[in-house]
Every structure is written in C-alpha cells, then in structure tokens.
C-alpha cells in the first residue's frame, strides 16, 4: 500500500511539473550579433601595429518578431559604431521576412549601393542533431549543425519551448526557435539576450519591399559576377559568402 501511495505521489508531481511547462507561440526576441574583428584580421599582417587598438568585437542588436508561423528579423537598438580600418557592415539594415507555413522568405538587402529584394523558397538545410545542451536567455537549447554554400558550417541552438521554428537571419526548420547561431568561417555569432512575450502587431509581420526583386539564385549570380569582374580574390569570396548568409 505504501509503495502504491508513493508511486501515485510521484505521478502527481510529474504531471504537475509538466502542466507548468509553457509553450510560446508569439513574441519578440532580441539578438546580439557579434563579429570577431581580431579573428578576422589575424592574417592581415599590415594591421599588426594597430590590432591592439581595435576592439575585439563589432556588435549590433537585432529583433525577431514571431507569430502564427511568420517571423520578421530587423535592426534593433542601434549600437553599431564604425571601426577604423574596417568597412561598414551594410547587413545591419537587412530586413528578413519568413512565412514558415508557406515555406517562403523575403530579404531586403543592400550590396554595392544597390538594394535587392530576394524572394524565394526557404533554403533546405540538412541539420544534424547533437546531444549538446546550452542555456540561452533562460531557455534550454539543443545544438544542431548544418551546412550551406557547400562548405560553410552553421551551428545553431534551438529551444522547443518556443514552437515557432524560426530564427535569426533566415535560418529555420528546426524543432523550435533558434536562439543562437555561430558561423565560424565568417567569425559571426547571433545569440538571444532576451525574449518578450508581447504579441507583435499584424503590420509588423509583413514582407519588406524594394524595387529590384530577384530569386536567391539570381542574386547569387549577380554577386559572384561582380566579384569575378573586379578580380577581388580571397576578399571577394568573403564578400560573396557574407552576402549569402
């Protein structure tokens, strides 16, 4: 009898614990984007005399609004400052809309003083799940690894407590919201700093607009041709990769 009573008590505790789990379907996430300057220029020996005067990171904040399977990623509070010897980060002003139910995204992006609207199907990333866990912004997140552009690895951390399968930039289609992204080849990280449960207004979750509308493939060809025509070498390859992230 005592064993039965003990088992029932344990069962009640487990059920009560599960009942307290909240699954989030709408809100706003703030991400901190960090670009590791020291890592980026470690092979640029002409900068050896000024490396110690440069900050280690260039940082900017971005917001992701989400509801009903739709997300919008855009610049948040402006913390961006110009860094000596470094070009401007035009991607700070990118706006990315994703409709997860329809499987499409639209990205407003400026490259070479020209603004494009990239509109296409969500790209298919084959994610590999791992057993690694990490706490991000108070959420337990699972690690997954994917690959884009044949050789660029993406490390993502997602939480299944937020049921919308979106994330920063246009990374998505994991079993929950991506709260952290690391792109080692580009020395970039995006990690959530806070999650707000305020539902975004309908007008916030609409695609951006721009005059020059292209597919992802056409945009890729445009960027690659510009780099080839200008003979930009390895620096040009970096520009291509960063523009296509």
How do residues 188-200 score in pLDDT, each as one tens digit?
999 999 999 999 9
Q: pTM for the full model?
A: 0.86
Domain count, the chain: 1
pLDDT string in tens for the chain (245-residue length): 444 444 333 333 333 344 356 789 999 999 999 999 888 888 776 677 777 778 889 999 999 999 999 999 999 987 667 776 677 788 889 999 999 999 999 999 998 788 999 999 999 899 999 999 999 999 999 999 999 988 899 999 999 999 999 999 989 999 999 999 999 999 999 999 999 999 999 999 999 999 999 999 999 888 888 777 655 656 667 777 888 88
Residue 44 pLDDT: 72
Question: End-to-end alpha-carbon separation of the chain, Å?
Answer: 62
Residue 48 pLDDT: 73
| CATH number of the domain bearing residue 127 | 2.50.20
Residue 18 pLDDT: 43
Report yes or no on 2 lying in a domain: no
Task: Give the domain extent around 29.
Answer: 21-243
- 3-state SS assignment for residue 131: strand
Residue 234 pLDDT: 62
Residue 229 pLDDT: 61
β-pairing, 114-121 with 212-214?
Answer: parallel
Report yes or no on 207 lying in a domain: yes
Residue 41 pLDDT: 80
Report yes or no on 1 lying in a domain: no
Report yes or no on 7 lying in a domain: no
Report yes or no on 13 lying in a domain: no
Q: Could you tell me the strand order of the sheet in which 70-75 lies?
A: 128-136, 139-148, 152-159, 177-183, 188-196, 26-36, 57-67, 70-75, 95-99, 104-111, 114-121, 212-214
Q: What is the DSSP letter of 204?
A: G
Report yes or no on 15 lying in a domain: no
- 3-state SS assignment for residue 166: coil
Report yes or no on 187 lying in a domain: yes
Report yes or no on 160 lying in a domain: yes
How do residues 57-91 score in pLDDT, each as one tens digit?
999 999 999 999 999 999 998 766 777 667 778 88
Helices (H), 70-207: none
């Amino acid at each position: 009898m005592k064993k039965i009573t003990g088992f029932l008590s344990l069962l009640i505790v487990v059920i009560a614990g599960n009942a307290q789990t909240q699954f989030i379907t709408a809100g706003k996430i703030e991400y901190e984007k960090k670009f590791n300057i020291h890592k980026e220029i470690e092979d640029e020996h002409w900068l050896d005399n000024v490396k110690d005067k440069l900050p280690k990171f260039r940082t900017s904040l971005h917001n992701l609004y989400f509801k009903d399977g739709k997300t919008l990623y855009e610049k948040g509070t402006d913390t961006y400052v110009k860094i000596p010897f470094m070009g401007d980060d035009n991607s700070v002003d990118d706006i990315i809309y994703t409709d997860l139910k329809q499987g499409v995204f639209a990205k407003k992006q400026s490259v070479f003083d020209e603004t494009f609207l990239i509109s296409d199907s969500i790209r298919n990333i084959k994610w590999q799940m791992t057993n690694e866990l990490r706490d991000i912004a108070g959420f337990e997140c699972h690690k997954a690894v994917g690959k884009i552009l044949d050789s660029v690895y993406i490390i993502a951390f997602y939480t299944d407590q937020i049921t919308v399968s979106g994330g920063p930039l246009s990374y998505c289609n994991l079993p929950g919201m991506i709260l952290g992204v690391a792109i080692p080849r580009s020395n970039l990280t995006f990690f959530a700093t806070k999650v707000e449960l305020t539902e975004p207004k309908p007008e916030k979750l609409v695609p951006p607009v721009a005059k020059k509308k292209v597919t992802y493939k056409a945009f890729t060809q445009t960027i690659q041709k510009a780099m080839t025509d200008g003979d930009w070498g390895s620096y040009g390859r970096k520009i291509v990769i960063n523009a296509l992230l």
